[in-house]
Chains A and B, each alone.
Chain A
Amino acid sequence: MSLYQITSLNELPPGARKLVTVAGKTIGVFNVNGQVVAVQNICPHELAPICVGRVDGTTLESQPGQMVWGRDGEILACPWHGWEFDLLTGQCLTDRRRLRQFEVKIVDEIIFIAVYS
């Protein structure tokens, strides 16, 4: 496993994303309200480039007829079919499949991700 330097916290403020190619993989690095996460740019459903999708909140589980909005900035929606994924866990909200996540290390404000090459 190797550590790859991606960018700095300064250049990736909350809400920002960066697509990088390391070790032959395209990876999206997202600053989710201060927490940096990295996921592979492949939707596990039909292999779409998920990391270009909308990052947003969503409607939370609620009683019929209630609309409760939440999780702003935590949900990545696939640009093809709109499947929503929790960026913090990689889990799809509606299917058992999940995003491939990579470990993120931050040293002196510099963001690294760990990838097996």
Chain B
Amino acid sequence: MNDLAWIIDTDIHPYIDPQRVADFLPQPWRRRVQSGNAGPGHLGYWNPNGVRRNDIFAPDDSPEKGKRVDADAATMVKHHLDRFALSHGILNADLINVGLSPETDFACAFMSSVNEAIVTDWFAVSPRILASIHVTPTDPQHAAAEIRRWAAHPQFVQVLMPSGSRTAYGSRLYHPIYAAAEECGLPVAIHPGTEGLGVSGVPTAAGYPGNYLEWHTGLVGSYLAHLISLISEGVFVKFPKLKFVMIEGGVSWLVPVLWRFDKNWKALRQLSPWLIHPPSHYAYEHILLTTQPIEEPENPQQLQNLLAMMPIEKMLMFSSDYPHWDGDTPDFVGRHIPAAHRRQVLRDTAWALYRLDERTKNTNSHHASRLIQNLKSKIQNPYVPISNHELE
């Protein structure tokens, strides 16, 4: 040793390749680290199958062989929309997570750019591609401005927020978002998967779940909290035309929770005196659910019994969640829906909610071309007008 070497460094950071650590890990944790999910850095909960399906590539016997179906509009139209006889599909990007960043300026800028990327790369390719306006709920003023910025675009059909949140969505903090959405005739939707991320609360009211199975099963908890909050705080009294879409939160929990809510309201209505009807009334008038992941009880009749307890013909809409690991296909969902309501669930309710009559009719009108000009100048990107024959 160098005689001069007598200093002790109490903090050195070696680079240890996580893949080298994996060599020493027992299973299943070695699989986890090898898959790239080492924990902290993103949410950390590990899905052993991957959150995105493994077979997201176009089939070998197609010209798009090997291309990701979820990564560009043309491939998605052919290998998802056409394959499953879908006339339209609404894009909700996983990037909505960034809306919960504590770096609000970044989150707002990022979400605006997500919307621009959707217009440029997806809408321009096919009028069958629709999307949500992605917003940053932690800055409601910015979110409201973003809604007004895009609302006239015929392919933006709703507003999307992550269901992970700092405060439940009935809070008046968020009302500027609802005012803008109602004014623009757009539903507001939430999508799960951000619970515990960024500035959102702990993933469950009981604290941190211990693995992905627990976390994912418990996501319904934030849906429950948002539903109760939205109704109790009078969002639908203040914004009577507002519709709220709870995407991917499950279906069968709703009715029993509303029973409990109605019962509590009978005793406690003075805390929410603006509720002149039982809470379930507002839920059935303003809340819509999407089908996936449809519950699959061992006895399928039990699901039928639950569906019969709610007006699914006006509040349930098909969703595939493609290409996530727990997605459903239309035929699979269709089999679970009573024949009398299948058409509404698979098409009619969404068609009406998203005003697709109007959106598809006006596409060649003077108004639409002015709109497109306006958008072109705004984002300075090519935009292909919609032609009616493409909509047939």
Where the two chains meet, the residues of A that have a C-beta atom closer than 8 Å to any C-beta of B are 46-49, 52-54, 56-59, 67, 69, 77, 79-82, 96
Contact = CB atoms under 8 A, between A and B. Distances in A.
A72 B31 CA distance: 12
Contacts, number: 41
Nearest to A82: B49
Interface string B24-36: 0011110100000
A35 B45 CA distance: 35
B325 A82 contact: yes
Contact of A46 (B28, B31, B54, B332): B332
Nearest to B48: A82
A59 B28 CA distance: 7
Contact of B325 (A47, A56, A80): A80
A54 to B, nearest CB: 7
Given A80-B55, A82-B49, A69 B327 contact: no
B326 interface: yes
Given A46-B329, A77-B49, A81-B326, A57 B27 contact: yes
9 contacts: A46-B329, A54-B54, A59-B28, A69-B27, A77-B49, A79-B53, A81-B325, A81-B326, A82-B47
Interface in B14-62: 26-29, 31, 47-49, 53-55
B328 interface: yes
Contacts of B31: 56
B329 A79 contact: no
Interface in B214-260: none
A96 B300 CA distance: 14
Interface of B: 26-29, 31, 47-49, 53-55, 298, 325-329, 332
Contacts of B326: 81
Contacts of A77: 49
A82 B47 CA distance: 10
Given A46-B328, A80-B53, A81-B325, A69 B48 contact: no
Contact of A80 (B28, B29, B327): B327
Contacts of A69: 26-28
Contacts of A46: 328-329, 332
B215 to A, nearest CB: 15
B55 A48 contact: yes
B375 to A, nearest CB: 37
Closest 3 CB pairs of A and B: A82-B49, A69-B27, A79-B54
A71 B55 CA distance: 24
Given A53-B54, A67-B28, A81-B327, 16 more contacts: A52-B54, A52-B55, A56-B31, A57-B27, A59-B27, A67-B27, A69-B26, A77-B49, A79-B53, A79-B54, A81-B49, A81-B326, A82-B48, A82-B49, A82-B325, A96-B298
A47 B47 CA distance: 22
Contacts of B29: 67
A56 B27 CA distance: 11
Nearest to B323: A80
B48 to A, nearest CB: 7
Contacts of A82: 47-49, 325
Contacts of B327: 80-81
A46 B321 CA distance: 14
Contacts of A81: 49, 325-327
A91 B27 CA distance: 23
Nearest to B56: A79
A79 B55 contact: yes
Contacts of A47: 329, 332
Nearest to B55: A79
Contacts of B328: 46
A48 B54 CA distance: 11
A69 B49 CA distance: 16
A9 B96 CA distance: 49
A117 to B, nearest CB: 23
Nearest to B50: A82
Nearest to A57: B27
Nearest to B54: A79
Nearest to B59: A49
Nearest to A72: B27
B325 A49 contact: no
A87 B98 CA distance: 41
A42 to B, nearest CB: 13
Contacts of B329: 46-47
Contacts of A58: 28
